[in-house]
Amino acid sequence: GYIESSNSASINNIQIQSEGGTSVVFTIPTPASIPLQSVVIGQNAMKDTVDSGIQNVVIGRNSQQYSSGSLGNVSIGFSTLQYISSSINNVAIGQLAGYENGKYLSGSNNTFLGYNASYGNNTDIENSTALGANITLTDSNTVILGNGASVGIGTTSPSQKLEVVGDIAITDFPSVSAS
């Protein structure tokens, strides 16, 4: 294989190509403010960034395209975390993960894993995790597993919303009455 660069005065993209013709193209964006200590790969990735971005990992077309003052965010996939403002330590993996059209995420320490795992109208959400496709986080400090999914502990095929195979230890369990 070989490495080819273009635009000798300032490199705008680097192409790594095998002899069989398969290519991976790394496009270096020309954002309004150059991100610092970041890895940026993809068309329009961090393109319209203002106030820089620091220590972000951005892989995918349109990822973190409109960002302002972001720090330590990881976005992998098409349009992940496309709109963020002063967000810190968010992780989005999967097409449209952490994406909400035109609504800037200002919250921090969130994880969005799966196609279209998002934050809806709650743009200041904090410390929350969405695992699965089409999940919308509505509150801070929550973990949401799957859209209609069942959870199994000690089983690979739960037959209920929560199925536990094995012993359970509960300490200080509040009393519950059936209603």
Nearest to 125 by CA among 72, 71, 87, 83: 87
pLDDT value, residue 8:
45
pLDDT value, residue 34:
65
Q: Whole-angstrom Cα distance, residue 131 to residue 43? A: 26
Contact 17, 2 (CB under 8 A): yes
Q: Whole-angstrom Cα distance, residue 166 to residue 96? A: 37
In this prediction the pTM is: 0.76
Please provide the average confidence, as pLDDT, over all residues in the chain: 83
Two structure tokens written together for 37: 């200590």
With a CB cutoff of 8 Å and minimum separation 6, the contacts of 173 are none
| Low pLDDT (below 50) residues in the chain | 1-10, 23
> Each residue of 67-108: pLDDT tens digit?
888 899 999 999 999 999 999 999 999 999 999 999 999 999
Give percent helix, percent strand, percent coil of the chain, each to the nearest 5: 0, 35, 65
Nearest to 45 by CA among 57, 55, 36, 37: 57
With a CB cutoff of 8 Å and minimum separation 6, the contacts of 106 are 84, 85, 86, 87, 123, 124
pLDDT value, residue 46:
84
DSSP β-bridge partners for residue 75? 58, 92
